[in-house]
Structure 1
Amino acid sequence: MTHARISLHLVLLLLFCCSSWTHAAVLVSIKPIHSLVAGIMQGVEDPQLLLSGGQSPHRYTLKPSDARNIQQADLIIWIGPEMESFLPRILTASERPNIALLDLLKSENKASHNHDHEDHAGRDPHLWLDPLLAKRVVQLIADRLSLLDPKHRGSFEKNALTLQQRLDRLHQELESRLAPVRTTPYIAFHDAYGYLEARYRLNSVGTVILDPERLSGARHIRDLQQKIRHTGVGCIFTEPQFEPRLVESLIEDTATRNAELDPLGSDLPAGPDAYFQLMRRVANQLVQCLANK
């Protein structure tokens, strides 16, 4: 084969590779949302996960590898600055200021302006903890992915429908599972469960910390101790992303139990099933602690 033919062969090969590679690089901030995105993109491409360990997005410090992943992304799907407060800073300093973003909290609030809003809408960023709200989030993500990669629109839409049907079944399961403990008072570690509590009519009477980025003051701790004594609090829940010693001191010399809730599924393997495993485990942890009152 002559040099000219070899060169032509290489050019054609490069053109074929470049034209056939149409997948977009999708980066998702936290595991529950990554799981939903992975379900929508199943059979097309695997999205990347930014926070893969047990870190809290409220207190996260970016590693150099995270910055590289952000720079290489075509689309970043996140909750918004109310959750990933570290992300706006890195995006402002990015060498690619026009990276496409999907801010789920802002987008969902806009999309649902004609719906009945829960009291916590617009301030609680933990929107994935309501499976029926997660259905709307799935549609937002599928629509955005279809704009980014129209070649795979059919796959995204089909996967989204399957995922929404699965979320309907999960909702029915959680409704039944949580019903027996609906009236039992408890204290969560921080204000992360508003969507879950509103959907399943749970009886949260307070939180250990008011702000996940700051320690609680002495007055708030005294108020919690009063609640524990006078309202029959069944459980106080810790979270793996936060130090549990404060909870242990609160329940000392009381009959109140403590257990762990993890709204992020820190130790779960990432993928399409992680969201469903997370939600079932949260429900089971609530029931196991509260049902023993």
Structure 2
Amino acid sequence: MKLLAPFALLAATMLTSTAFAAPNVVASIKPVHSLVAAVMAGVGEPTLIVKGSASPHTYALRPSDAGALESADIVFWTGHGMELFLADALSTLAGKATVVELADSPGITLLPLREGGAFEPHSDGDEAEHHDEPAHEGHEHGEGDMHFWLDPENAKLMVAQIATTLSEVDPENASAYQANAEAEQLKLDALEEELKATLAPIADKPFVVFHDAYQYFEARFGLSLAGSVTVTPDVAPGAARIDELKAKVATLGATCVFAEPNFEPTIISAITEGTEAKAGVLDPEGGGLTEGVDLYPELLRGLATSLVDCLKLVRTKSVPPPNLPLIGGGTWLVSYPPLCPKRDLTPPPHQGEAGWGYPTRNTATSTAP
């Protein structure tokens, strides 16, 4: 009997660990992986397909990716409009897995692609290589803008869908998934409020992007995207196209022009050279960030920081506006061009808000000690 005790204990331990083992979970891109990792915290870790700075628009599956899909119990992806490389692989390699298209999460907001007028036809960087692929054409014309994770309200709905799926496949750990999801949604609420405060000072500043991937972020935080220009990341435009793009940037009144990390710096400088627009970089997928739970909030904070750094108020050395003395000296930060008519620079009593063309001391934009 004494000899059987260790074996009984070992069997019980193996049974317990098997019953509560985390499922094999695969996530397509970094933002999705980050949210899945948050929900799985303390239970298991998902496997990421598109690693590093690779783009889902041009990615090709590796043997290790195929192996991960074959052994997956759950696969989370945004949908047919984004990860083109997964469309066929999910049916051929992940046949036994529960596949979740997060674009179909209940309540999620999907916006149409913007084309015409200030917005040039949508491009994912190398569209010439994919003209004959129906799934990509669906992305451009039928399925809308698939960068929906850039709205933290959508991210909360994605978290809810992730937790529901994990709980259904792995009911033994359902309570942990639900608790993690609720905690993550509270963090996303706090992140949204933080970003509202960060972005408020530059909400009225017009900017142009090389890739119209940011309308969810723009809509959530009230930003002023003036338009987009279509530029291939690794192919320098010809002289005529550069002149055309410069003219468009000037016409749109853009303060900044934003490319993405995969664009050659020479292309960015060629388009902004000779214009009053500054150049910036936005990263909608977190290519330069380390994968994991913290990536999603770092991604959104990074977008906000890049926008503010390029669009921030112009520092001047002028004296304080009439009837609004600056105690203790220092300089004022004033919007340019002024937000109010030149003939009406003096605000009524107690009205020195930024809407009058200059901020009050309470806005913390003074450099006075």
Q: Same fold (TM over 0.5)?
A: yes
Deviation by residue 1:217-265 (Cα, 9 ceiling, x = unmatched): 9997665322222232111112113444432221121121111111122
> Is 2:203 the counterpart of 1:203?
no
Write the letter of the residue equivalent to 2:82: M
**How many pairs are equivalent?**
284
Matched with 1:285 is 306
Separation (CA, whole Å) in 1 of partners of 2:284 and 2:112: 20
What residue is the counterpart of 1:184 in the other structure?
205
Query: Which of the pair has more CA radius of gyration?
Result: 2
Q: In 2, distance between residues paired with 1:15 and 1:186?
A: 58
Gap change, CA 1:272 and 1:156, over 3 Å in 2: same
Cα distance in 1 for partners of 2:210, 2:252 equals 17
Q: Does 1:112 align with 2:116?
A: no
Give the equivalent residue in structure 1 for 2:136: none
CA distance in 2, matches of 1:212, 1:241: 6
Structure with the larger helix share: 1
Decide whether aligned partners of structure 1 residues 251 and 261 sit closer, same or farther in structure 2, where only a CA change above 3 A counts: same
Residue of structure 2 in register with 1:79 after alignment: 78
Q: Which residue pairs with 1:67 in the alignment? A: 66
Q: CA separation in 1, counterparts of 2:39 and 2:241?
A: 43
1:147 aligns with 2:145: no
| In 2: Cα distance, 1:193 partner to 1:12 partner | 53
Aligned partners of 2:227 and 2:236: how far apart in 1? 15
- CA distance in 1 between partners of 2:41 and 2:13 (Å): 27
Residues 112, 138 of structure 1: alpha-carbon distance in 2 compared, 3 angstrom cutoff = same
**2:277 is matched with which residue?**
256
The separation in 2 between residues aligned to 1:194 and 1:177, in whole angstroms, is 18
Alignment-derived partner of residue 101 in structure 1:
99
TM-score calculated relative to the size of structure 1: 0.85
Q: Which moved more, 1:255-264 or 1:241-250?
A: 241-250
Match of 2:46 in 1: 47
Question: Identity of counterpart residues, as a percentage?
Answer: 38
TM-score by length of 2: 0.69
* 3-state SS of 1:45 partner: coil
SS in 2 for 1:206: strand
What is the rounded CA distance, in whole Å, between the counterparts of 2:236 and 2:270 in structure 1? 14
Question: CA offsets, 1:146-180, max 9 Å, x none?
Answer: 11111111111111111111101111111111111
**Unpaired segments ≥5 residues, structure 1:** none
Q: How far 1:84 moved relative to its partner?
A: 0.5
Q: Which amino acid aligns with 1:48?
A: T
Structure 1 residue 89: Cα displacement:
2.5
The 8 Å contact of residues 57 and 82 in structure 2, kept in 1 or not, is answered as: yes
Q: CA RMSD in A?
A: 3.1
Higher relative CO (Cα under 8 Å, sequence separation at least 6) belongs to 1
